[in-house]
Every structure is written in structure tokens, then in C-alpha cells.
């Protein structure tokens, strides 16, 4: 898995503090940014956190480039609706010799890993065979309809990808660009950094949190699973390791976890 922070709102802390200042003072727009020293900015952010007032943080966004993750992760990720996603298409991009993600529990058992790899190789073979059959069929039809050979082949490959992809596994790799505002990221981290989250999306969320803490430490110093800043929200399903989780996600003040 590779995760990069490829863009974000400049001076995100200050933008959010300005929005908070507008809500709670008589400031007008031309002078709103005046006097927002680092200390004042932090004070406003702390106030928002104490009050649980999260709408001002929606003014800051962060964009991530993600690769080496599975389509199974993508299905979970897109449940977070207040976000923007661009995903590598399996219609327009051929997945011949596709890469795939091996779950750690399978990786740890040699016999299971061998079985898993065999399944991936079989899926790849089925995909290649189906794609070839579909290309031949579509090309013949398109040529008969008057397309030249080159144009017919190009169109046939796209049409073949569209149906051959149905045999691809959840483990098949994908690439994603995702943008979220800070409020959505708070929710994402509270759910997906949790020990109860599925291992792959938990790894993604943990990497993302480390990245945003580097560039906007005041905004994200209290971010993480729910037990970091309060009680566990999982009720009877708690992992029972709140103290350990708090240590893991404790903010060190340097933009990273301790």
C-alpha cells in the first residue's frame, strides 16, 4: 500500500480559525484574518474542539493518492459519502496480469498462500481468455458494421474489458484519488483507525492520519478512533484495548504519532 498527500488547503488551521472567528465575533470579512497569530489560531481550534462545533472545519480539504489496495477496500471506502473519488477504471484499463493484495492471515500460512496465489492465477487466466474471446467477437461485428480494422480493435478491447472484468477478484488492485474535508476525515478516522475496522482500511486510515498531522497538526491532534478522545463507541463489541490504542494514536506534538 502506498498513500501520498498530494494536495491540501494551504494554511488549513488558519482558514478554519477564521471561520470560527466569524461565527463568534463581530469581525468582518476584510479584517477577518487580522490578528490570527499561531497562538490565536490554536485557541480557536481548541474552542471548536471543546464545543464540538465541527462545521468550520469543512472549509479545509485534503487530497490523497492511494495505490496497492484492493477492490474490497474500495467497496468500504466509498461508503464514506461526503468525499470525492476518482478510481482507475476496469472498463478503460486492461487488467491483464493484474496485481493483487494478499491478506496477512493468508500470507502467514504457506499452504493458504499457495492456494490463494493459485486462485489469482486462475482468475487471471480466465480474464485473459474471456477478454480474447470477447475482443474477437466484438471486432468481427464492428468490422461487419463498417469500421476499419484499427478502430474496430480499439472499440472491441474496451467492450471486452467491460464484461471480462466480472471474473476479477476482490483482491485485484486498484488506484484511487480521494478528497475529504476535515469533518469527514474526523468521522473516517474515528471509524477506520479503530481496532474493529477491517485490517486493510485500518492501515490506510492510520497512514492518512499520520500524513495530515504533519501538515495540519492542530486540526488533527485529537483525531483517531473514538477511544482516543473519549469512551469507546463500540459498546459490547469493544476490542478491550483502549489504553493500548490511545498510546498508539497519542499526538506527540511533532505532527506524527509517538
Q: Which strand (E) or helix (H) includes residue 132?
A: helix 110-144
Catalytic residues: 192
Size (the chain), residues:
258
Contacts of 236 (CB under 8 A, 6+ apart): none
Greatest C-alpha distance within the chain: 73
* Beta bridge partners of residue 69, listed in sequence order: 174
Question: Kind and range of the H or E element at 64?
Answer: strand 61-70
User: What is the C-alpha to C-alpha distance for residues 242 and 258, in angstroms, rounded to an integer?
Assistant: 16
Give the rounded distance of the alpha carbon of 129 from its chain centre: 32
Amino acid at each position: 500500500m502506498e498513500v501520498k498527500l498530494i494536495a491540501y488547503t494551504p494554511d488549513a488551521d488558519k482558514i478554519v480559525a477564521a471561520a470560527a472567528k466569524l461565527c463568534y465575533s463581530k469581525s468582518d470579512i476584510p479584517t477577518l484574518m487580522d490578528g490570527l497569530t499561531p497562538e490565536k489560531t490554536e485557541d480557536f481550534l481548541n474552542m471548536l474542539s471543546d464545543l464540538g462545533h465541527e462545521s468550520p472545519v469543512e472549509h479545509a480539504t485534503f487530497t490523497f493518492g492511494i495505490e496497492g489496495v484492493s477492490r474490497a477496500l474500495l467497496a468500504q471506502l466509498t461508503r464514506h459519502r461526503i468525499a470525492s473519488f476518482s478510481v482507475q477504471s476496469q472498463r478503460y484499463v486492461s487488467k491483464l496480469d493484474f496485481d493483487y493484495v494478499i491478506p496477512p492471515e493468508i500470507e502467514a500460512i504457506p499452504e493458504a498462500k499457495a492456494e490463494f496465489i493459485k486462485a489469482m492465477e486462475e482468475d487471471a487466466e480466465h480474464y485473459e481468455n474471456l477478454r480474447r474471446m470477447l475482443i474477437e467477437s466484438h471486432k468481427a461485428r464492428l468490422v461487419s458494421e463498417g469500421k476499419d480494422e484499427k478502430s474496430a480493435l480499439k472499440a472491441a478491447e474496451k467492450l471486452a474489458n467491460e464484461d471480462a472484468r466480472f471474473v476479477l477478484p476482490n483482491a485485484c488492485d486498484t488506484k484511487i484519488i480521494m478528497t475529504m474535508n476535515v469533518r469527514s476525515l474526523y468521522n473516517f478516522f474515528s471509524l477506520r483507525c479503530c481496532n474493529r475496522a477491517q485490517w486493510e482500511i485500518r492501515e490506510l486510515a492510520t497512514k492518512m492520519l499520520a500524513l495530515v498531522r504533519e501538515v495540519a497538526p492542530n486540526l488533527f491532534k485529537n483525531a483517531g478512533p473514538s477511544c482516543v478522545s473519549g469512551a469507546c463507541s463500540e459498546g459490547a463489541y469493544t476490542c478491550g484495548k483502549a489504553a493500548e490504542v490511545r498510546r498508539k494514536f497519542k499526538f506527540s506534538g511533532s505532527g506524527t504519532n509517538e
